[in-house]
Amino acid sequence: MENESGALSRVSGLFSARGYNIESLSVAPTDDPSLSRMTLVTHGSDEIIEQIKKQLNKLIDVVKLLDLTEAPYIERGMLLVKLDCGGAGHRELIKHLADIFGAKIIDVTPSAYTVELIGGASKLDSFLEALSPIPVIEVVRSGSMGIARGDIALKV
Amino acid sequence: MELTGAEIFVRCLKDEGVDLIFGYPGGAVLHIYDALYRQDDVAHVLVRHEQGAVHAAEGYAKSTNRPGVVLVTSGPGATNAVTGIADAYMDSVPLVVFTGQVPRALIGNDAFQEVDTVGITRPCVKHNFLVSDVSKLAETIKKAFFIASSGRPGPVVVDIPKDVTADKAEYHYPETVEIRSYKPKKTGHLGQVRRAADLIMQAKKPIIYAGGGVILGHGAKSLYDFTKLTGFPITNTLMGLGGYPATDEQSLGMLGMHGTYEANLAMHHADLVIAVGARFDDRVTGNIEKFCPEAKIIHIDVDPASISKNVQVDVPIVGEVDPVLQALIAEIEQRGEPLAFAAEEAWWKQIEEWRAQECLKYEQGDDLIKPQFVVEKLWEVTEGDAFVTSDVGQHQMFAAQYYKFDKPYRWLNSGGLGTMGFGLPAAMGAQLAHPDATVACITGEGSIQMNIQELGTCRQYGLPVKIVNLNNRFLGMVRQWQEFFYAGRYAMSYMDSLPDFVKLAEAYGHVGMRIENPADVEPALREAFAMKDKLVFMDFITEQNANVYPMIPAGAGQNEMILV
């Protein structure tokens, strides 16, 4: 997208105006400062996805669009979760699950651990599920970012 | 030499070839109005309400196929313009709307007459801009005109803070602009054209369904050639009227909710539908589940998002109507074989049977004026050659059904948004664009009151618009639906306390006429249209309970029409 004020609201406005869902959204400037890159996760029938793509392409601020699901792709999001570690055995369980999932404990206080995990949406979901015995104080999740596998690239 | 933003604004309009704009001054645009005052290249028409300015610009644009230009102030100036902007968006009318904005330093501070114009208009514009620096003003204006008038046309809003119009910059108006993300397609994909030609060669029960894109895309001539080459029947949408001559024998008239019996049944039973610059609006398709059950569909449209939006099509062709139709004609001619349809008599025979129903027939008695009769007489008196605007409701449908448009750019109405109050200001725009032409506004006593203040504008600029008011003392289309679907409970559809329209017209310095007898209809029209330099307000007192027939009720299929 053009890296201009208002570009994001044109996209989000289109989704709300036409009744489409945004499951997650992540946007930041790219190595070309005139462009920003957005990864948007949505769902719908083939017809609806086709229509969403056409409508997005109509926006003047959308420079190029790639449907990552048309080829193999990598999805990554970040999860920060703050956990109450006061209960018996909680610290050990958190450490154990963090090892299994490849998460990092990034903040430690006598009463709370904060854990960081990077991965696809389903991995982040599974991690939270595995943590269910532990009282969660707070969860922060980023929108997903995506990139195609191999040499397919979303470049202008 | 450096110019102020206000001077740059005026120079841009001149260099863009704009000679007329519609607007209303206010605090945020005072620098611009001062710059307009100090030059003679761009004329300005002062309306009485900003909504009127936008509809007038639409009337100008629709009757010339050039962008209409509007200038309004910030805050209420911009919000009053929004209905017109949304109207232009729905009907793909090329407009550039300039709105004043509070100075940059005050934006976001809830300043006097501040609104977030870019935010408010975002969902109903093709694109909009906030000009953040005077050095970007000229290029932004060039982009606005380019976007508004290319591809599928539409309104573009340019919001200009007041201090930007006072700042100075070197003037340079670019001849062209490049927008990396915006490259509208002109010609269609040749492979798709061939696939379409295959279907056309084989069709036994074809129909052409032509919409407003034919008119916007300068495609009327090619559409005529294509229709004559194939011999196919053709139906027009409300927005497409005039895109093919209505008096031609291959024309089945309008289709859709109040379309003709023959057009809707031909669509329903067709084996091939060729949609040209049309968007399968719900008023056309009726119940989508029952739409054209036997047909293959070819869809030609410049906007890819219009294709397979409501109805899945078999052969999409993205491109401008005119070059695509020319490519189709060339492809068919080059094959050198007769169409299967050339040996097919059954389809036209069937259509003639439907036509024999005479679904638009009505009886004009001696007592009450039928609204249909007024429109038919209007067509006769103006020899079918007037620019006709309408408002929204029953009179709009009667106008579409009974005024037989043979030329494009003559029928100006609010189709998509259905904006009451469109007719009179649109007629002003058409009259200003065509000073010597006959311009009629078909309206009703409900709609006309939504922008009646524009009678003052007509007076100021000497616009001899002829207003045909079909006055049934009811919000007619609302009343019709209440009769059909709400057991005659006429909630708020009765217009009590109407003004004396004759006196009202006279108060504005115009001529008013009241016509109550059928025998007086034609003489009154002749008298009114003979007054070449006067606005005449003809108040026709019509039958109260007339309904628009035929009608496809909401949710029904095209073959489920109510005839009378």
| Angle, CA of B183, B200 and B235, to the nearest 5° | 80
Best probe of the B interface among A48, A58, A154, by most B CBs < 10 A, is: A58
Is the domain of B452 the same as that of B514?
A: yes
B559 inside domain: no
Q: Chain B closest CA to A62's CA: distance in Å? A: 6
Residues in chain B: 564
Is the domain of B350 the same as that of B377?
A: no
Strand partners for B308? none
Cα Rg of chain A (Å, integer): 19
**Residues above pLDDT 90, as percent of chain B:** 95
Instruction: With cut-offs at 50, 70 and 90, classify the pLDDT of residue B563.
Output: confident
Strands B2-4 and A145-148: unpaired
* Number of domains within chain B: 3
Domains of chain A: 7-65 (3.30.70.260), 73-145 (3.30.70.1150)
Neighbours of B435 (CB within 10 A): 11
Residue range B419-436: average pLDDT?
98
Residue range B534-561: average pLDDT?
93
Secondary structure percentages of chain B, helix, strand, coil, to 5: 40, 20, 40
The answer to whether B352 touches B314, Cβ cutoff 8 Å, is: no
- How does pLDDT run across B140-154, given as a tens digit for each residue? 999 999 999 999 999
- Taking an 8 Å cut-off on Cβ atoms, the answer to whether B312 and A60 are in contact is no
The answer to whether B540 touches B374, Cβ cutoff 8 Å, is: yes
Size of interface A-B (CB pairs under 8 A): 40
B239 inside domain: yes
Residue B296 is among the residues annotated as catalytic for this protein = no
Q: Chain A closest CA to B149's CA: distance in Å? A: 14
Q: Which residue is associated with the tokens 């007339």?
A: B546
Residue B148 to residue B8: CA distance in whole angstroms? 20
Is the domain of B386 the same as that of B436?
A: yes
Q: Which member of A5, A17, A51 has the closest CB to residue B309?
A: A51
Is B375 in the A-facing interface, judged by CB distances under 8 Å?
no
Is the domain of B351 the same as that of B464?
A: no
Residue A112 to residue A105: CA distance in whole angstroms? 11
- How does pLDDT run across B504-541, given as a tens digit for each residue? 999 999 999 999 999 999 999 999 999 999 999 999 99
Domain boundary among B141, B170, B199: B170
B218 inside domain: yes
Residue range B112-132: average pLDDT?
98
pLDDT greater than 80 at residue B564: no
CATH number of residue B302's parent domain? 3.40.50.1220
B552 inside domain: no
Alpha helices in B28-106 (DSSP H): 30-37, 50-64, 76-90
Instruction: With cut-offs at 50, 70 and 90, classify the pLDDT of residue B1.
Output: confident
Burial pattern B118-148, b for ≥16 Cβ within 10 A else e, equals: bebbbebbbbbbbbbebbebbebbbbbbbbb
Residues in chain A: 156
Residue B162 is among the residues annotated as catalytic for this protein = yes
- How does pLDDT run across B311-353, given as a tens digit for each residue? 999 999 999 999 999 999 999 999 999 999 999 999 999 999 9
Q: Give the active site residue among B39, B112, B170, B312.
A: B112
What residues contact residue B534 under an 8 Å CB cut-off, 6+ apart?
B464, B510, B511
**pTM of structure:** 0.95
Cα Rg of chain B (Å, integer): 24
Low-confidence ranges of chain A (pLDDT < 50): none
Beta strands in B376-521 (DSSP E): 387-390, 411-412, 439-444, 466-471, 511-515
Residue range B400-424: average pLDDT?
98
Residue B261 to residue B563: CA distance in whole angstroms? 8
**Residues above pLDDT 70, as percent of chain B:** 100
Nearest to B339 by CA among B349, B350, B328: B328
| pLDDT of B35 | 98
Q: Chain B closest CA to A43's CA: distance in Å? A: 17
Is the domain of B161 the same as that of B25?
A: yes
Within 13 Å and on the Cβ side, how many CA atoms surround B366?
Answer: 0
Tokens, residue B62: 């629709």
Residue A135 to residue A128: CA distance in whole angstroms? 11
Is the domain of B473 the same as that of B410?
A: yes
Strand partners for B20? B43
Q: Give the active site residue among B7, B50, B58, B320.
A: B50
What residues contact residue B407 under an 8 Å CB cut-off, 6+ apart?
B220, B242, B245, B385
- How does pLDDT run across B246-258, given as a tens digit for each residue? 999 999 999 999 9
Tokens, residue B383: 């020899």
Instruction: With cut-offs at 50, 70 and 90, classify the pLDDT of residue B495.
Output: confident
- Taking an 8 Å cut-off on Cβ atoms, the answer to whether B305 and A64 are in contact is no
| pLDDT of B558 | 87
Three-class SS of residue B229?
helix
Is the domain of B90 the same as that of B202?
A: no
Residue B454 to residue B475: CA distance in whole angstroms? 21
Chain B CB contacts of A35 under 8 Å are none
For all residues of chain A together, what is the average pLDDT?
Answer: 96
| pLDDT of A82 | 98
Alpha helices in B452-546 (DSSP H): 455-461, 476-485, 501-507, 518-530
B362 inside domain: no
Secondary structure percentages of chain A, helix, strand, coil, to 5: 30, 30, 35
Q: Which domain holds residue B453?
A: 371-541
Residue range B86-102: average pLDDT?
98
| pLDDT of B286 | 87
The answer to whether B403 touches B411, Cβ cutoff 8 Å, is: yes
Is the domain of B375 the same as that of B351?
A: no
Is the domain of B155 the same as that of B8?
A: yes
Is the domain of B154 the same as that of B201?
A: no
Residue B396 is among the residues annotated as catalytic for this protein = no
Beta strands in B39-189 (DSSP E): 43-46, 68-72, 95-101, 127-130, 155-161, 168-170
ipTM of the complex: 0.90
Is the domain of B32 the same as that of B146?
A: yes
Residue B383 is among the residues annotated as catalytic for this protein = no
- Taking an 8 Å cut-off on Cβ atoms, the answer to whether B180 and A62 are in contact is no
CATH number of residue B161's parent domain? 3.40.50.970
B319 inside domain: yes
Residue B401 to residue B184: CA distance in whole angstroms? 34
Q: Please identify among residues 153-182 of chain B the ones whose CB lies closer than 8 Å to any CB of chain A.
A: 179-182
B69 inside domain: yes
Tokens, residue B52: 């009127």
Is the domain of B335 the same as that of B445?
A: no
B557 inside domain: no
